[in-house]
Chains A and B, each alone.
Chain A
Amino acid sequence: MTGLFVLAIYVGIFVASFFIITKVVNRAVSRDYTSLKTVTFGDESAVRPNRWAGIISILTLFLIWGMFTGSNLLPKFLHAPGAFVGDVEFTYTAEAEDGSRDDATVTVVVHPREETVDAPEVDPGDGFAKNDSAKIAQWRTGLIRVDSNDDIKKSDGAKVVAINGTPISPGVTVEVENGAVTLSDKGTPNFAPERGWQMEPLYLPPPEDVASRTVKVLSEGFRGFTLIEHLGYSLFRVVAGFIVGALVGIPLGYAMGLSNWFRGWFDPIVEFMRPVPPLALIPLIIIWFGIGESGKIILLFLAALWIMAIAARSGVSGVNISKVHAAYSLGASKWQIMRYVIVPNSLPEIFTGARVAMGVCWGTVVAAELVAAEQGAGMMIMVASRFQNTDIVILGIILIGVIGFGIDMLMRWAERLLVPWKGKS
């Protein structure tokens, strides 16, 4: 239900900002070459990301996050209705075995989770049913043993038959002000205060909590390691595994692209290992190498190895045979063909492979750390989730995303620098 509401807000902002930005703000567009194209629908090269859309998209995510977590960064009126806090009253009607009835009032204090309060003192009132009081934390529900102070208790045959005058029986729910009362199977009223539309901080803390937790983790560290160390360990494993994988995989791929024997020998292995997700190897790696550093690096080595071997192999087979022929006719030896034709010609493929491999390695290291590790980004979020530190979990996920993105940008930058001829033949 809340989900649908969030979706509606999201779609609403999408549509509204589209019309406002494209029809009102962006009337005066710059007249560059692409903007002069009249056929843009279907011409992919004419589709460029709208800068405004990008900014609004990210702001919208934070806005919705803030709205549904009651963030202090937003003015109050933007907040989704929160879970009820405060005092609430309802009456119950008890019926004794002889059929006589009596009403009593229950006062419930609904308090924020982190505060401790005492149930208020209430005047017991008259009749055989006495007034009660109870305390319930926000977002929680509570059984209220209303008969415990009554003159005729449940054990004496008394039953709760109505709430606020509405008849009730076990399993039935009666709406009351700021909540609902359900009679349990044993006949005890269970009060559920209004939950509102906001997420409980336990499940999704507001953005400012994540930010302040970031500052705290940055200065204090987490589980004996600083944040930088956690991320550094993950990065180190990825880089080490990737480098070893590339150092073995690329020559292997070249050999497979250049020799019948190597191709025949390694094809079955590579083709078999390629579809095995590295994550499926984690249990075996733990059995063989334990959960230490070497096991992780071997896992990442295996993750990168096949990708790099296949990239190098297709880099070799992708060489235009005319280039090889031309080089031979120009007097090149086999070694020179390798050095001056095959290697440079395969570099674009190898870079593409390296980008994929780095992405896979980054995902694999996080997963491996989730399973078992003393430090690392994955371990951080796993341990935090066990202690219900959702803010650290979210912080970790954001950092993992940012680093993964950073790695890819770095690889693309290196690619532009080192293989400017990519896609130009």
Chain B
Amino acid sequence: MSGLSIQNLSMRFELPNGGAVQALEDVSLDLKQGELMSVLGPSGCGKTTLLNIAAGFLAPTSGQLTMNGHVITGPDAERGMVFQKGALFEWMSVRENVGFGPSMKGTPAAEKRETVDHLLNVVGLQDFKEKAVYELSGGMQQRVALARCLANDPDVILMDEPLGALDALTREKMQSLVLKLWKETGKTIILITHSVEEALLLGERLIVMAPRPGRIHTEYNLPFAELGVGADLREVKKHPDFGPKRDEILSMIWDMEEEIMGRTEEQS
């Protein structure tokens, strides 16, 4: 089958002091080609761990991941990753950063140039091609990271709080950009976020995870991502279902957080 499939995934971190953390327990997920899924959950519920396993940076203690029918054993160009920050190469210009994937594959220069120019146009950085990445603002850097990931033409894009470090306005623009890229490229995208609104806007499917052990708590199918493509996201937020969904999920996460707090208080 095509797409990303996660079956009965568990991850247990053995700590050096003899204890252990059950970061994920029995997580199963199926992502079809072209699906946009957002992941929410209180801090420490295993979101990053899940993504790292999907990217192939970590091997799960049990369970299996398959991608387009083959088992995932390590990182691969078919699964691109966009980090929150700090993953761009400062020693390369914007152009070289975006062209990194094609360079590694040995893509001919002319073809690479075309891809890079096109993607920099898409993310609106055509005037910054030769700049050093440390000369760009945080939002621009994330656009470079997106373009770099897309230049490699992966099947799945994994994003760990890609917009978390941006200000509200830039963030909104970037959300539109993610939607536009999703629609135009037809990529499968998993996006982790701390913002409930962002999760609602950027998820056909939305997964809320619960902590200790990390597991899937609730899953939603939402219309907002489709509505948001090419539209003003502020309008989407006025959709009659948007507010209630947001409040519902917020209180769900609040309850989880409260439970964690209560538990730690009891322990101490």
Residues of A within 8 A of B (CB): 320, 322-323, 325-333, 336, 340-341, 344-345, 347, 419-421, 424-425
Contact = CB atoms under 8 A, between A and B. Distances in A.
B81 to A, nearest CB: 4
Given A330-B80, A330-B100, A332-B100, 12 more contacts: A325-B75, A325-B81, A325-B87, A326-B83, A328-B75, A329-B76, A330-B104, A330-B152, A345-B91, A347-B91, A421-B132, A421-B134
Nearest to A343: B91
Contact of B89 (A325, A331, A340, A420): A340
Contact of B91 (A327, A328, A331, A344): A344
A424 B133 CA distance: 9
Interface of A is mostly: helix
Nearest to B105: A331
A344 B89 contact: yes
A333 B81 CA distance: 16
Given A329-B80, A331-B152, A421-B91, A340 B134 contact: no
A329 B79 contact: yes
A330 B87 contact: no
B220 to A, nearest CB: 28
Contact of A330 (B56, B86, B148): B148
Contact of A323 (B77, B80, B89): B89
B90 A424 contact: yes
Contacts of A425: 86, 90, 134
A328 B80 CA distance: 9
A322 B86 contact: yes
Contacts of A341: 89
A318 to B, nearest CB: 12
Interface in B151-168: 152, 154
B132 A420 contact: yes
Contacts of B56: 328
A341 B91 CA distance: 9
A329 B77 contact: yes
Nearest to B75: A328
Contact of B87 (A323, A333, A344, A424): A323
Contacts, number: 74
23 contacts: A322-B83, A322-B87, A323-B86, A323-B88, A325-B55, A325-B57, A325-B75, A325-B87, A326-B83, A326-B87, A328-B57, A329-B75, A329-B76, A329-B77, A329-B152, A330-B80, A330-B100, A330-B104, A331-B101, A332-B104, A344-B89, A421-B90, A421-B134
Interface size class of chain B, counting residues whose CB lies under 8 Å from the partner chain? 20 to 34
Contacts of A325: 55, 57, 75, 81, 83, 87
Contacts of A333: 104
Interface in B82-135: 83, 86-91, 100-101, 104-105, 132, 134
Nearest to A321: B57
Which 5 pairs show the lowest CB-CB distances between chains A and B?
A331-B77, A421-B90, A328-B75, A424-B134, A322-B87
A344 B92 CA distance: 9
Given A320-B86, A322-B86, A420-B132, A340 B55 contact: no
B102 to A, nearest CB: 9
A424 B134 CA distance: 6
Nearest to A330: B101
Determine which residue in B80, B83, B87, B91 has the highest number of CB atoms from chain A within 10 A of its CB, and name it: B91
Determine which residue in A327, A330, A425 has the highest number of CB atoms from chain B within 10 A of its CB, and name it: A330
B77 to A, nearest CB: 3
Contacts of A330: 77, 80, 100-101, 104, 148-149, 152
Nearest to A347: B91
A45 B148 CA distance: 36
B56 to A, nearest CB: 8
Contacts of B89: 323, 340-341, 344-345
Interface string B205-225: 000000000000000000000
Nearest to A425: B90
A325 B89 CA distance: 12
A372 to B, nearest CB: 44
A331 B76 contact: yes
A78 B101 CA distance: 73
Nearest to A419: B91
Contacts of A420: 132
B149 to A, nearest CB: 8
Determine which residue in B75, B76, B79, B86 has the highest number of CB atoms from chain A within 10 A of its CB, and name it: B75
